[in-house]
């Protein structure tokens, strides 16, 4: 008798199992817990995905109710359960690993079982009394894992992107603000790590801002355009077996209302069920942003190198002691952490690409990996962007005097004089300056190659930093 109070007996295709009576999940979730202990990244770690899944289940139940396949009592109980999940409750009831075989069936059944048991209690029944409301027959009515799982993934990704965009915008603004702060600081530009021609530190930071703006625009436009089309109603392979003609249309209409997203049915449900191209596109956009952010981090590490024997144009905020053996050493830990985060996102993109390619015939069984890695990349990129903005970009300082001194001591400044002295003369001067450790400007003055006033005009920021305006 005591055992019966602690556990309940549930049955599935493979037999019977005792399930803890405290658990809202059932036998199929229990098997998934036992089968897949791979990453320790549980479904519960991605509440946005659970929220999206609950919205899908609510929309499907409402479509079935509208078509008179689900009683009002059952619909209202399923709706109640879904609303609880959307509100963030019962997260601990989703303990299965994000990495799983079965094309997401374990996840779908985890959701079905939890919704069913919440709904049963709402109706005044005990958990597991599926004769009154069944995870498959009622919660999963007119559905397959193969249409609700990718639909929930798409919807969750739209939510994740919505959360990410403001943080990327904030980082762009920080770069813009620094570009204004550093607008008048003359410095040496470099190509292939060699002195090139002068620029301002403000121009350098403005370029960081502009390159991220491009990514922001692509994310804002391409992602909604591609992810809004759902295969909901396609069921097993996209043919819509076990549904009525209007079911898919009703389900999408309800899901659009519930999620407050403009969603549509995919043009070809068979194609949409098997093709992972939209996920590859999103991953490539995240990889593109990660690549740029990593390059920017590389630049900041180089520009802050030193403090005595490096470039030392920038001073990053000291965040922690840099060495257990070298006293006084402070490392660029925030750009380094950004680099590492970006490498992880790049590796996720490869995993997503391989998984997308590995689809066979009418289904891609690797969808769990695609979902896991996309959610992980978006979470990681968002956290990294917040860190980068607050702990690096907002606090970075310029060593202005040092920047300017390096310009006028550089051999690269000879490029500005090339139109006036000719390539042969400037090459001779550059070679001699390098070999004899002389200052270019001192050599020009010693040889009286240009009047002082003209020299000063040529080397003014106005002349060096912008294209010349024709006199005509």
Residue 422 tokens, joined: 């000719």
Residue with tokens 């005009």: 457
| Secondary structure letter of residue 315 according to DSSP | E
What residue ranges in 108-175 does DSSP mark as E strands?
none
Average pLDDT of each block of 10 consecutive residues along the chain (472 residues)?
72 93 95 92 96 98 97 98 98 95 93 98 96 97 95 97 97 98 94 90 97 96 93 92 94 98 94 93 97 98 92 91 80 95 98 94 93 97 98 97 88 80 86 83 85 80 69 49
The C-alpha atoms of residue 262 and residue 238 are separated, in whole angstroms, by 21
**Torsion angles phi and psi, residue 459, rounded to 5:** -90, 5
Q: Across-strand partners of 397?
A: 315
The C-alpha atoms of residue 56 and residue 155 are separated, in whole angstroms, by 9
Residue with tokens 């809004």: 228
pLDDT the model gives residue 409: 84
Asked whether 41 and 97 are in contact (CB, 8 A), the reply is yes
Active-site residue, from 323, 324, 341, 377: 323
The C-alpha atoms of residue 407 and residue 195 are separated, in whole angstroms, by 9
Q: Is 323 a catalytic residue?
A: yes
Residue with tokens 């809202």: 24
**CA 447 to mean position of chain CA atoms:** 58
Stated as kind and residue range, the H or E segment containing 314 is strand 314-315
pLDDT the model gives residue 3: 47
Q: Which domains does the chain have, with CATH numbers?
A: 2-141 (1.10.275.10), 147-234+268-401 (1.20.200.10), 410-464 (1.10.40.30)
User: pTM score, two decimals?
Assistant: 0.91
DSSP states along 194-241: EEEEEEEHHHHHHHHHHHHHHHHHHHHHHHHHHHTEE-TT-TTTSS-T
pLDDT the model gives residue 155: 98
pLDDT the model gives residue 344: 97
Q: Across-strand partners of 17?
A: 10
Give the HSE-up count for residue 437: Cα atoms under 13 Å, Cβ half-sphere. Answer: 0
């Amino acid at each position: 008798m005591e055992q019966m109070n602690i556990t309940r007996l549930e049955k599935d295709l493979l037999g019977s199992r005792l399930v803890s009576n405290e658990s809202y999940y059932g036998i199929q979730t229990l098997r998934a817990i036992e089968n897949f202990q791979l990453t320790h990244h549980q479904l519960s770690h991605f509440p946005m995905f659970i929220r999206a899944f609950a919205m899908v289940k609510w929309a499907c139940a409402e479509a079935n109710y509208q078509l008179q396949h689900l009683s009002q009592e059952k619909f209202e109980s399923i709706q109640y359960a879904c609303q609880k999940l959307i509100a963030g409750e019962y997260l601990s009831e989703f303990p299965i690993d994000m990495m799983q075989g079965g094309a997401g069936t374990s996840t779908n059944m985890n959701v079905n079982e939890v919704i069913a048991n919440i709904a049963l209690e709402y109706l005044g029944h005990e958990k597991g009394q599926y004769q009154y409301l069944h995870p498959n027959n009622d919660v999963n009515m007119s559905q397959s894992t193969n249409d609700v799982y990718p639909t929930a993934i798409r919807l969750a990704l739209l939510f994740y992107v919505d959360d990410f965009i403001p943080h990327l915008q904030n980082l762009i603004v920080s770069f813009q603000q620094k570009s204004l702060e550093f607008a008048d600081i003359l410095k040496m530009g470099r190509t292939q790590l060699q002195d090139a021609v002068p620029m301002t530190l403000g121009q350098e930071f403005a370029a960081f801002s502009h390159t991220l703006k491009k990514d922001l625009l692509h994310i804002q436009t391409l992602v909604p355009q591609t992810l809004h089309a759902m295969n909901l109603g396609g069921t097993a392979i996209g043919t819509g077996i076990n549904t009525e003609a209007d079911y898919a249309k009703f389900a999408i209409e309800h899901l659009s209302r519930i999620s407050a997203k403009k969603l549509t049915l995919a043009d070809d449900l068979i194609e949409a069920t098997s093709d992972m191209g939209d996920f590859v596109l999103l991953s490539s956009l995240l990889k593109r942003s990660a690549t740029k952010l990593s390059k920017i981090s590389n630049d900041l590490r180089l520009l802050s190198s030193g403090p005595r024997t490096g470039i030392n144009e920038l001073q990053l905020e000291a965040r922690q002691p840099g060495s257990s053996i070298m006293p006084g050493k402070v490392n660029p830990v925030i750009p380094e952490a950004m680099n590492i985060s970006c490498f992880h996102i790049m590796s996720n993109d490869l995993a997503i690409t391989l998984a997308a390619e590995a689809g066979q015939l009418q289904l891609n069984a690797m969808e769990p990996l695609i979902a896991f890695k996309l959610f992980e990349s978006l979470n990681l990129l968002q956290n990294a962007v917040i860190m980068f903005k607050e702990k690096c970009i907002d606090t970075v300082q310029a060593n202005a005097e040092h920047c300017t001194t390096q310009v006028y001591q550089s051999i690269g400044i000879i490029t500005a004089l090339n139109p006036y002295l000719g390539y042969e003369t400037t090459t001779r001067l550059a070679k001699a300056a390098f070999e004899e450790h002389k200052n270019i400007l001192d050599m020009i003055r010693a040889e009286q190659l240009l009047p002082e006033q003209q020299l000063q005009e040529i080397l003014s920021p106005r002349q060096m930093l912008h294209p010349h305006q024709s006199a005509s």
